[in-house]
Structure 1
Amino acid sequence: MDLFNYSRRETSEVNIGATPMGGSNPIRIQSMTNTATQDTEASVAQAKRIADAGGEYVRLTAQGIKEADNLMNINAALRRDGYMVPLVADIHFNPKVADVAAQYVEKVRINPGNYVDAARTFKHLEYTDEEYAQELQKIRDRFVPFLNICKENYTAIRIGVNHGSLSDRIMSRYGDTPEGMVESCMEFLRICVEEHFTDVVISIKASNTVVMVKTVRLLAAVMEKEGMHFPLHLGVTEAGDGEDGRIKSALGIGALLADGLGDTIRVSLSEAPEAEIPVARKLVDYIMQRQNHPYIPGAEATGFNYLSPTRRKTVAVRNIGGDHQPAVIAERLDGEYETNPQFAPDYIYMGHTPLKMREPGIAYILDANLWQGEEGTYPAFNHQQLYLLSACQADMKFLFLTYMTLNEEVIACLKYHPEIVIVSQSNHPNRLGEHRALVHQLMQEGLENPVVFFQHYAENETEDFQIKAAADMGALILDGLCDGIFLFNQGNNISHATVDATAFGILQAGRVRTSKTEFISCPGCGRTLFDLQSTIARVKAATSHLKGLKIGIMGCIVNGPGEMADADYGYVGAARGKVSLYKKKECVEKNIPEEEAVEKLIALIKANGDYTDPQ
């Protein structure tokens, strides 16, 4: 794989109704209904809204035989009204339901974690090699008849692995790891290959973007090694709603799309399903602008491990680099100083704007020819000002560089001046490629200067800005290359506060800096057991000021306890109108009436000493 030049991974084509995926087909967009699948009228209406918004596949849950049977009526109603969008049945726990659904839809999603293996209990089990082989044979014995039904009905399948629902069997041998997720998938894929069943799509998801990206990269490498070229479905599970859901999804999915991985995506938002489609469309269209871009002559640094990256070693310059969390730099070229205390940047770049006042706790960056050595301020240079830089006695200096200006003179200067923080710039159509190329050259030269990534936009819509910025930063953060982020937007209608909050949101989505409560919330489906959107709003209203906590809000138990494995507290649908509360993985209170559950959650947080009153 070329780290610096964009090209899509070559995949086999999969037939899904009249909308094939993979091969030379465009990246497909999809969503999932949150209606009861037995409610034909509501499901058809919502499927139409998804299709009208541009969704190319519509997924519906089928908890049991009745729901699977009703897929026939939903399919027929859509076709009768001229909607040819392929339908996908989502199956958990019951392979018999998959057998039925395969007769009525264009694709069936099964979950290796619960297709044959028992529901996850979080208990550590021990298997001998012989016992493990027997369990694999059980999978084969049950899976092959399903494949035969799919062959007879020209039905594709998706093997959909979720971090939150790995089986205890996989956990016993591999633990809660990317390797375990990949093996869970490969067990089923190898059977497909042996049975000559090729209409297969794969997804391998997590709510943790680090796990999600690392696992998909690993899966693509393992498939390549075994001669498999199946297309990939990308998504971040339980991404949430609002700006958090958009940033988290764009960062995780965008990091993979930017490397050419992915043939279909779903942006999982805790909102109306049709609201997911425009977000996904914007993300795909933005990444696809990189096609056929001018060549970037980057070279991968010795020792860099794309499949399991670690943070690049850098010297600490003040509070940037070393073991410090990535810094946030903001601009105030218009002379405005106001910041949100929750998302106050570490540094504010003023450029040529004279410094009139200071916000407490914030340092300022001035262009070198304006800087007078004032306390709490630092000079910024470009590559043509090296003579000024060498004469400057400041203990921290910022040097704005592009990859193409990183010449021998600049490299020599950097070796002599470890106090320089590099601000990496790019106007290339594939700015990720140039940013990566610059840092990889630094690594190859043995330079340990910290690197802050400058990302420049001219967006007028907040959503567009957030999607693009998160997509551009995803791989840089997850590759371990990021010592700081500097977002600059020259469009109208987007405030400094929004730009600052987006920078912090991107770092939190990449799991490198926490600045607010993290909500892990599912998008909802026909399995959801309470009003998800209103519940999320109520929980957020009561807890969003609690910096550093992770709170899971899950509609049912399919992925609930698993995806919340690293959450501090969990709110999970247990039965219709009933909720169970979790502390870490432990269920501490069951079957609470929905109308009491949010208050009980707050009481649980308070009882454990994790609650503070809003300021």
Structure 2
Amino acid sequence: MTVITPSEQKTNIYCPSLTAYERRKTITINIGGIPMGSDYPIRVQSMTTVDTMDTQGSIDEVIRMVDSGCEYVRITAPSVKEAQNLENIRNGLHKLGIQVPLIADIHFTPNAAELAARIVEKVRINPGNYADRKRFEVIDYTDASYAAELERIREKFIPLVKICKEYGTAMRIGTNHGSLSDRILSRYGDTPLGMVESALEFLRICEEFNYYNIALSMKSSNTQVMVEAYRQLVQRLDEEGLKPYPLHLGVTEAGEAEDGRIKSAVGIGTLLEDGLGDTVRVSLTEAPEKEAPVARALIERYTTRSAHASIEPIEHCPINPFQYTRRDTRESYNIGHLNVPRVIADYSGIEVQQLDDLKSIGHFFLPVPDKWAMNDQGADFIYTGKKPVPFMLPNGLREILDYSQWLGHPEKHIKFPLFEVPEWNAATDISAELNFIKGDIHTFDELFLEDISGKNNVVLVLQTANLHAMPEMRRFFYKLTEQHIKVPVIINRGYNTDLGDKLTLYSATDIGGLLVDGFGDGTLLSPKFADNTEHAEKLKAAASYNSIAFGILQAARTRMSKTEYISCPSCGRTLFDLQETTAMIRKHTEHLKGVKIGIMGCIVNGPGEMADADYGYVGMGKDKIALYRGQEVIKRSVHSSKAVEELIELIREDGRWIEPEEREILA
């Protein structure tokens, strides 16, 4: 990680404070009588999935979404006929007394946008394909041709601006990482900066006509890119003297179930921690009414956040928050430096009784052929506290004991101690290989850091009791960076086991928010059990915490341990049943560690959002699928009944296919 000079640090502030929670101050925009901005609560929204021409189906789905907590509802309008039918949907809702603001989602068709802006409360346009071109071609634009293209866009866009201003219609200028125009790509590349400039070109036109009823978004399926783009957007607005517009937060194509929630929290939660964001849409490959409760759970953490304990202020950010670089650390045993972040399973509240108790963390004993095996989410270490494992552990798993227990253990030479700071300061017997020391920003004081700064057998376990947890831990990483201390650090967070979805969302925010900035050499997720928790329930919790830990590392793009699915949340443009198709593809490919598969309902954002995927499955017509290798179309018009089989064959041709039978014993 490159340390930023003092002069550079001054340009790296993208939020009100890096240590004190405060919402970013924005202007207020009006969306059908429900205002959005920093003076109001963070709003929740989602998007319908039924065909927009299905009026009653749309009305029924909107009702379910409103009942689940949606304050705004977005509906796709890919052509004029769908835009016109928005009026029927709106009238049907009003007859039922439902006044929820509707948002028309527009791609490619300015005439549909202009019609929709006269009907609904808000329109969303994508600057990458609103009168712009996206052909996945490499084009060298001269300054003259670039300016000419901008002028063409301006002529197409100005009528919509005037209509929105006349009708009091709000607008979201929403950039998608996967649908940047060839023109933007030619000048800025496939970068967060390109995403920002794509939106600002349209925003400048709006301001020229004194139209300000605007929200902005910078969405990507890559959490690092998404976070960096929003941060750059805020900074650029300030630098150019543009108004502080409200931000719509979202991670595109987050996926489903636990993976989708983790990825959403890593991206959205990281920004919310810094006071950025005025409305949230969680994009899950599930029924749309499932999204609002997840968004609400993310948001509600911040209603009382300003009451947190104070954190030492920092005026300048010592790293580049707009470009991912992993913090430079030395290697201690197999932690830090070039090693992937490690996962430590916390069994300090679980008494290991038999070999099968380690199945929860990915380690399996096979009676035949009498050996241990592990799956791709096998924990690297097990922390047992004062309850040592009573048998020999597999080679891929090392045990950590509390220092007092380690001291008297007959096999301490193959185990590692965990110290508290006072124990470390007084210790006369330590491990020659690896010592863990737990503490927080206060106990890891200057004298302590001076003592351990040159030791290559020490790893810190960073904790916090602060309500504003992630920023306090980040403040400690800033301190290490400024002082050039290269000790590896494990991020330790503890949560009650009865939190449900909140466990996934909170841990992904607290830990993922550090990982996307390059901080952290491992995770230790600690379950907090109720006193009467049964052994079987504890093991079940251990499995969940282990899965979440690996999921966070994958969502933050720091360690790949399973197949990744970049699947869109479906909308009225979708050409097949996304939930069913995603489940079918997952069933056949979930054993392919590190392979990224994009599953897209249509071609609007599909090919672009798969820029980060190895393979793509994209709807191109009724029962017709296009298969991609990266950005290249390999097969077109494959019948949906054969498409999964053809996808597997494509993966096989590339030598990346592994027969599931080879892994099923470890499942």
Q: TM-score range by the shorter chain?
A: over 0.9
Tell me how far 1:544 sits from its aligned partner. Answer: 0.1
Partner-residue secondary structure (3-state), 1:370: helix
- Distance change (3 Å), C-alpha of 1:302 and 1:470: closer
> Is 1:530 aligned to residue 581 of structure 2?
no
> Is 1:136 aligned to residue 171 of structure 2?
no
> Is 1:471 aligned to residue 509 of structure 2?
yes
1:229 alignment partner AA: P
1:1-26 CA-partner distances (Å, limit 9, x unpaired): 32222111111101000111013111
> Is 1:151 aligned to residue 165 of structure 2?
yes
Query: Which residue of 2 is the match for residue 162 of structure 1?
Result: 176
Query: Which residue of 2 is the match for residue 434 of structure 1?
Result: 472
1:494-518 CA-partner distances (Å, limit 9, x unpaired): 5211110100000000000000000
Structural mapping, 1:129-278, within 5 Å: 129-227=143-241, 228-278=243-293
Partner-residue secondary structure (3-state), 1:511: coil
Partner-residue secondary structure (3-state), 2:104: strand
> Quick check: 1:111–1:162 contact (8 Å CA) kept in 2?
yes
> Is 1:606 aligned to residue 647 of structure 2?
no
User: Which one of the candidate residues 369, 373, 384 is aligned to 2:422?
Assistant: 384
1:601 alignment partner AA: L
Query: Which residue of 1 is the match for residue 372 of structure 2?
Result: none
> Quick check: 2:417–2:431 contact (8 Å CA) kept in 1?
no
> Quick check: 1:386–1:413 contact (8 Å CA) kept in 2?
no
2:255 alignment partner AA: G
Tell me how far 1:308 sits from its aligned partner. Answer: 2.5
User: Which one of the candidate residues 125, 138, 154 is aligned to 1:124?
Assistant: 138
Structural mapping, 1:289-308, within 5 Å: 289-299=304-314, 303-308=318-323
CA distance in 1, matches of 2:427, 2:338: 26
Structural mapping, 1:8-19, within 5 Å: 8-19=23-34
CA distance in 2, matches of 1:17, 1:95: 22
Could you tell me the TM-score, scaled by structure 2's length? 0.90
> Quick check: 1:33–1:60 contact (8 Å CA) kept in 2?
yes
CA distance in 2, matches of 1:421, 1:558: 47
> Is 1:489 aligned to residue 527 of structure 2?
yes
CA distance in 1, matches of 2:413, 2:333: 14
> Greater shift after overlay, 532-541 or 482-491?
482-491
Tell me how far 1:391 sits from its aligned partner. Answer: 4.0
1:110-130 CA-partner distances (Å, limit 9, x unpaired): 010111112x21111121111
2:423 alignment partner AA: Q
> Greater shift after overlay, 307-316 or 489-498?
489-498
Partner-residue secondary structure (3-state), 1:437: helix
Partner-residue secondary structure (3-state), 1:343: coil
Structural mapping, 1:383-422, within 5 Å: 383-389=421-427, 391-422=429-460
CA distance in 1, matches of 2:262, 2:219: 16
Query: Which residue of 2 is the match for residue 505 of structure 1?
Result: 551
Tell me how far 1:344 sits from its aligned partner. Answer: 1.3
1:434 alignment partner AA: E
CA distance in 2, matches of 1:261, 1:350: 39
> Is 1:56 aligned to residue 71 of structure 2?
yes
> Greater shift after overlay, 158-167 or 357-366?
357-366
> Quick check: 2:24–2:38 contact (8 Å CA) kept in 1?
no
Structural mapping, 1:78-117, within 5 Å: 78-117=93-132
CA distance in 2, matches of 1:578, 1:342: 34
> Is 1:335 aligned to residue 351 of structure 2?
yes
> Is 1:453 aligned to residue 499 of structure 2?
no
CA distance in 2, matches of 1:440, 1:515: 28
> Is 1:354 aligned to residue 388 of structure 2?
yes
> Quick check: 1:381–1:389 contact (8 Å CA) kept in 2?
no
> Greater shift after overlay, 278-287 or 182-191?
278-287
CA distance in 2, matches of 1:419, 1:80: 70
1:498 alignment partner AA: S
Tell me how far 1:311 sits from its aligned partner. Answer: 1.3
CA distance in 2, matches of 1:86, 1:587: 38
- Distance change (3 Å), C-alpha of 1:560 and 1:394: same
CA distance in 1, matches of 2:638, 2:388: 59
2:570 alignment partner AA: G
> Is 1:38 aligned to residue 73 of structure 2?
no
> Quick check: 1:64–1:97 contact (8 Å CA) kept in 2?
yes
Query: Which residue of 1 is the match for residue 462 of structure 2?
Result: 424
Partner-residue secondary structure (3-state), 2:28: coil
Tell me how far 1:558 sits from its aligned partner. Answer: 0.8
> Quick check: 1:171–1:180 contact (8 Å CA) kept in 2?
yes
> Quick check: 1:419–1:449 contact (8 Å CA) kept in 2?
no
1:454 alignment partner AA: N
- Distance change (3 Å), C-alpha of 1:560 and 1:390: farther
Tell me how far 1:167 sits from its aligned partner. Answer: 0.6
Partner-residue secondary structure (3-state), 2:30: coil
2:128 alignment partner AA: G
Could you tell me the TM-score, scaled by structure 1's length? 0.97
Partner-residue secondary structure (3-state), 1:251: helix
User: Which one of the candidate residues 363, 372, 386 is aligned to 2:398?
Assistant: 363
Tell me how far 1:309 sits from its aligned partner. Answer: 4.3
> Quick check: 2:122–2:171 contact (8 Å CA) kept in 1?
yes
Query: Which residue of 1 is the match for residue 367 of structure 2?
Result: none
> Greater shift after overlay, 426-435 or 536-545?
426-435
1:390-420 CA-partner distances (Å, limit 9, x unpaired): 5424321001011111223312221353321
Partner-residue secondary structure (3-state), 1:179: helix
CA distance in 2, matches of 1:163, 1:526: 21
- Distance change (3 Å), C-alpha of 1:401 and 1:362: same
1:588 alignment partner AA: I
CA distance in 1, matches of 2:546, 2:347: 11
1:425 alignment partner AA: Q
CA distance in 2, matches of 1:249, 1:432: 16
1:565 alignment partner AA: A
> Quick check: 2:527–2:541 contact (8 Å CA) kept in 1?
no
Partner-residue secondary structure (3-state), 2:585: helix
1:368 alignment partner AA: Y
User: What RMSD, in angstroms, separates the aligned Cα atoms of the two structures?
Assistant: 1.4
Query: Which residue of 2 is the match for residue 20 of structure 1?
Result: 35
1:352 alignment partner AA: K
1:344 alignment partner AA: G
CA distance in 1, matches of 2:314, 2:340: 27
Tell me how far 1:342 sits from its aligned partner. Answer: 2.9
Query: Which residue of 2 is the match for residue 552 of structure 1?
Result: 598
User: Which one of the candidate residues 581, 591, 611 is aligned to 2:627?
Assistant: 581
1:508-532 CA-partner distances (Å, limit 9, x unpaired): 0000000000000000000000111
Tell me how far 1:319 sits from its aligned partner. Answer: 1.1
1:399 alignment partner AA: I
Partner-residue secondary structure (3-state), 2:306: coil
Q: Which consecutive residues of structure 2, in runs of 5 or more, have no partner in the other structure?
A: 1-14, 363-374
> Quick check: 1:289–1:429 contact (8 Å CA) kept in 2?
no
1:188 alignment partner AA: F
Tell me how far 1:358 sits from its aligned partner. Answer: 3.7
CA distance in 2, matches of 1:17, 1:219: 26
Q: Which consecutive residues of structure 1, in runs of 5 or more, have no partner in the other structure?
A: none
Tell me how far 1:461 sits from its aligned partner. Answer: 4.1
> Quick check: 2:29–2:213 contact (8 Å CA) kept in 1?
yes
